[in-house]
Structure 1
């Protein structure tokens, strides 16, 4: 006689009573193949090239890089004076120390060399394809895969005549590591195209020879201009720095303990490491203490970004006094350069040597607004004309997070459309409508203080965790829920009014506007971001499975593990993966 057990009247005596799907023919830990594509071989792509193979088995990984070399922005940018505006020892991977940096703020070529070293050490060129540029990406709803169109030089190309060919690649998962500062922009100034002399952009630098005796104009007062002016001042006949905005220059970065460890002058703007310094850094104990203290110091100034905080007031006073002191020779510049807005409202830079260069006899600080660019120079609104042999536009990047390639998600929506009028994301890394598409250093990823590399590593680890979950649970697509994106957006809108970033100042944090939504920065400190990304909230995502089953346990497979099914591997792994607790004293 058939019986029921109260489970909606199911006949439990039937052998097929619970057979609503077919068991998989695989073991629970039999890793399915995963094709992952990473876009970009800068810091993010290099970190991904190391962590994905380390943590994901049965992986097919490709890293497409549009440039002819690795390094991302550190490959593209080559202007004189290029340097990191964070301490060198904080601008490296947590797992790959470099103990022989030449200076406290490392020059650009050294950073590029460090990245090339990491690529060689971890043998990443087996994954990286140089001069391969993504032109479009389209999500296939039926298969849960991304179809990518890649452009590369054809086999018939020569150094004088380059031809391109396009091919398609298909990926289960895409990590976009193109960064926020990768598309440079010309200034919107009348007459720019009419200029007949040498015209260059800082982000696309071409060697300018014979600077001696030349009149050089530099437009801008961002980090690039601040590095260019002191680099060119000793070489050029005359340097004109055209500045429409204002900016804070940070005081030298070093606590008393750091100065003691380094045996350096705490007031020194930059510091070139001696052979003795580098020798001390080879001592693992000393180096570990030094780097830990440096990063701790870097992560100690978050509350300077909070409105009206004591730390903000202290920073403002200290920066103001330091700038006045450094501009003693030309004190009138301070009236045009020192802001009324709070410290850190726009990107902060130490700018070693910049204010000192402005005080030199062959440098003119021009605060008058530019009316137009003429065939021979720049004309300001008061009628003055500055003849120039060389014009350098250090005018930054397109920071609206609009990609130069088309990314088409579900229902034909493009990522650029989704990011209009401003980007909306989930914890900066993904957005609804674009399954299996994650990004590093996307909208709201940067930090006003703290280690950018720590953020990159946290985002890469998050992406790795997503891929491992897809592989382990045989998931076809992972898509963040719309309501989760909206909730993060609500958090952003509530957080930034408490900070100095919402004050009136023109900044790339706000897509180049004086006021408006902050799209460049994480809503909190660097340490806050790392904690937030450490443990994914899987409940914030929707999932579709490979076999089109609705049963979330289909990934359990046939009831076996690979080791016992094939009699290979460790069949007592639980004894080799023991977490031994400490015994209380």
Structure 2
């Protein structure tokens, strides 16, 4: 057994300063993209923190470390699919290869000193809540020597996501095949497909990415396609300017452009915001029978028909009979185009058996192959029975999640004190970047940890009624969307009419606001303090700065006579009269701009309400009425201190030198 943190019963706080933070330990399982967010943000916001991140691999990155098959890339451009606090102006392509994105994650982890808190090559086995000690006891296997160790912490975070447990297809005879059989999540870099006859199994993002990457060099490629998926061109950020540059497939960022972005961070921020704004504003296409959904369907149908003209029969084979979005959209214009080539075939049949020489399909037809590539994905059921979490009253999470996984706000399951989830059930946004969601969830959890720490709380667990109310709200929202269409998707645990377990009831921006202010009244608590002395955490009446003479005792002071509350778009809003001293002129432009923006929003709300139409939320939507659009230049940033973007320089490409400071600039306690 390894070392175990002893239960830390905090001393009575009545002799401590109110901001003399008691020590608190957090264990995070996983150092993928959400785990790196935890490792970057938690030390910036939580004082006196002991953080340990356990990772099964030998490096950070999670799925981006594990996957390195040909054609790997993010579905979204990394100008959107990156951390808000770690901007990288040096992406070589609009959709760069996966290796470049993996290097980005390593660079962020180095910059924010995540590595010092990570213990690599440790596989999570189980966790058990110890009620008397107010701690989670975590059991892990140390892979370097196979030994089982345990560790303890007051807070446990599960940051393993949906795509960490890859699986072979459930087809008999795999061991009989005499050729090369590969899984994309366990790719052999020594495999050369040149001149070979290849079968690809799997019709998700991975299968659609690898096929066009190898099709030009293979002799023959058969892609076995089960089911039908809508395949839009591009990745949700294709403004007209980007389409002209080739964004529906890909394009290079020239060295000159990357240098300009690096030397002018404000310009790169504007470029990022344009992509993210477009991505954030597509949610309406997922609402049933909406005009946006109808137009989107027509667009995809037209694109499919036009692209398959060289092989017209493929239109009927590939055209789904459910609304776009019910099943995950696959960004695969390059795949559609490559499947029109002479050496590429789509086999719309189930695979029934592997043989020594190849595959037998559902019609009994056998085809011979040199290699079979399984792009059959991951176990996305969120089934924790194999790696149990045992909560209050010895209740396993697998039972709490029967019949379906549920977590309050996607972050905390019922009966699991001090356990929080990154990328839990119902957290994937309908619009916007999942990275934005990771950050929003991380900040929510940070606020919960600070409450535990500050108020000497032993445990916090969500109330059953709050979980019920959350499920009711999620299901009501989903009933308005295409998620209730009849389709087989892992969004619904592969049940055509199942409950949606993955999607957040709104956009990433909506989630950002919802997670910003935790409803602490929806939790039940136990305390280290007696019931009749529950406010002793207020301490001895001093702050540390006052008592020691070290620190700022006036940090609450800021510019005066200037409101920092942006106008709220209500109909009766009138801009306040402002008296702004000369030293505060830098705030005036933002305030006046906010007033103008709010007035435009009010007018837009009145107009659309008068028309009896839903309020449009997409300033950049080409189909929105002109009166509802707000130019990007009129967007107003929140007032107050602003975080400087962190410029990340990848080491794997020849990049212009970054002018950014070496140290992170986001440290700030709530």
TM-score (norm 1): 0.91
Aligned in 2, Cα 1:383/1:575: closer, same or farther, shift over 3 Å? closer
Instruction: Using the TM superposition, name which of 101-110 and 263-272 deviates more.
Output: 263-272
> Which residue of structure 1 lines up, in the alignment, with residue 322 of structure 2?
341
1:92 to 70, 82, 85: 82
Aligned in 2, Cα 1:572/1:255: closer, same or farther, shift over 3 Å? closer
> Which residue of structure 1 lines up, in the alignment, with residue 15 of structure 2?
25
Q: In the aligned structure 1, how far is the partner of 2:247 from the partner of 2:107?
A: 32
> Which residue of structure 1 lines up, in the alignment, with residue 253 of structure 2?
273
2:43 equivalent to 1:53:
yes
How far did 1:278 drift? 2.1
2:383 equivalent to 1:402:
yes
How far did 1:169 drift? 0.8
How far did 1:27 drift? 1.9
How far did 1:269 drift? 2.2
Q: Is the 8 A contact 1:254 1:266 kept in 2?
A: no
Provide, for residues 338-359 of structure 1, a one-character-per-residue CA deviation record: whole Å limited to 9, x for no partner: 1111111111122141011111
How far did 1:447 drift? 2.0
Q: In the aligned structure 2, how far is the partner of 1:239 from the partner of 1:480?
A: 51
Q: Is the 8 A contact 2:236 2:279 kept in 1?
A: no
> Which residue of structure 2 lines up, in the alignment, with residue 145 of structure 1?
135
Aligned in 2, Cα 1:460/1:271: closer, same or farther, shift over 3 Å? same
Report 1:347-426 matches (<5 A).
Answer: 347-403=328-384, 404-426=386-408
2:161 equivalent to 1:179:
yes
2:115 equivalent to 1:125:
yes
Q: In the aligned structure 2, how far is the partner of 1:454 from the partner of 1:253?
A: 16
SS of 2:51's equivalent? strand
2:483 equivalent to 1:501:
yes
Q: In the aligned structure 2, how far is the partner of 1:169 from the partner of 1:577?
A: 47
Q: In the aligned structure 2, how far is the partner of 1:400 from the partner of 1:241?
A: 25
Q: In the aligned structure 2, how far is the partner of 1:23 from the partner of 1:135?
A: 36
Aligned in 2, Cα 1:139/1:90: closer, same or farther, shift over 3 Å? same
Q: In the aligned structure 2, how far is the partner of 1:387 from the partner of 1:204?
A: 23
Q: Is the 8 A contact 1:85 1:351 kept in 2?
A: no
SS of 1:178's equivalent? coil
Provide, for residues 242-272 of structure 1, a one-character-per-residue CA deviation record: whole Å limited to 9, x for no partner: 011111111335778x443x59346742222
Q: Is the 8 A contact 1:217 1:241 kept in 2?
A: yes
Aligned in 2, Cα 1:166/1:181: closer, same or farther, shift over 3 Å? same
How far did 1:562 drift? 2.6
Q: Is the 8 A contact 1:506 1:512 kept in 2?
A: yes
Q: Is the 8 A contact 2:430 2:505 kept in 1?
A: no
SS of 1:289's equivalent? helix
Provide, for residues 88-119 of structure 1, a one-character-per-residue CA deviation record: whole Å limited to 9, x for no partner: 20011001111121222222111100001111
Q: In the aligned structure 1, how far is the partner of 2:143 from the partner of 2:379?
A: 26
Q: In the aligned structure 2, how far is the partner of 1:94 from the partner of 1:405?
A: 32
Report 1:185-584 matches (<5 A).
Answer: 185-252=167-234, 258-260=239-241, 264-265=244-245, 268-282=248-262, 283-403=264-384, 404-575=386-557, 581=563, 584=578
Q: Is the 8 A contact 1:200 1:393 kept in 2?
A: yes
Provide, for residues 376-419 of structure 1, a one-character-per-residue CA deviation record: whole Å limited to 9, x for no partner: 21111222111111111111211111134221101111112211
Q: Is the 8 A contact 1:259 1:266 kept in 2?
A: no
Matched residue count: 554
> Which residue of structure 2 lines up, in the alignment, with residue 165 of structure 1?
147
Q: In the aligned structure 2, how far is the partner of 1:507 from the partner of 1:208?
A: 33
Q: Which runs of 5+ in 1 are unaligned?
A: 1-21, 155-162
Provide, for residues 116-161 of structure 1, a one-character-per-residue CA deviation record: whole Å limited to 9, x for no partner: 111111222111111112211110111110111121134xxxxxxx
How far did 1:566 drift? 3.8
SS of 1:32's equivalent? coil
Provide, for residues 529-575 of structure 1, a one-character-per-residue CA deviation record: whole Å limited to 9, x for no partner: 11111111110111111134454312112333333334443344444
Q: In the aligned structure 1, how far is the partner of 2:387 from the partner of 2:536?
A: 37
How far did 1:56 drift? 0.9
Provide, for residues 2-59 of structure 1, a one-character-per-residue CA deviation record: whole Å limited to 9, x for no partner: xxxxxxxxxxxxxxxxxxxx87232221100011111111111111111111111111
Provide, for residues 451-496 of structure 1, a one-character-per-residue CA deviation record: whole Å limited to 9, x for no partner: 1111000000111111111111111111111110111011122121
> Which residue of structure 2 lines up, in the alignment, with residue 103 of structure 1?
93
Q: Is the 8 A contact 2:76 2:236 kept in 1?
A: no
Q: Is the 8 A contact 1:173 1:436 kept in 2?
A: yes
Q: Is the 8 A contact 2:193 2:217 kept in 1?
A: yes
Q: In the aligned structure 1, how far is the partner of 2:232 from the partner of 2:532?
A: 57
How far did 1:209 drift? 2.3
Instruction: Using the TM superposition, name which of 553-562 and 409-418 deviates more.
Output: 553-562
Q: Is the 8 A contact 1:445 1:522 kept in 2?
A: yes
Q: In the aligned structure 1, how far is the partner of 2:74 from the partner of 2:481?
A: 25
Q: In the aligned structure 1, how far is the partner of 2:199 from the partner of 2:40?
A: 43
Q: In the aligned structure 2, how far is the partner of 1:42 from the partner of 1:571?
A: 39
How far did 1:441 drift? 0.5
Instruction: Using the TM superposition, name which of 463-472 and 264-273 deviates more.
Output: 264-273
Q: Is the 8 A contact 1:448 1:521 kept in 2?
A: yes
Provide, for residues 437-458 of structure 1, a one-character-per-residue CA deviation record: whole Å limited to 9, x for no partner: 0011011111232111110000
Instruction: Using the TM superposition, name which of 223-232 and 550-559 deviates more.
Output: 550-559
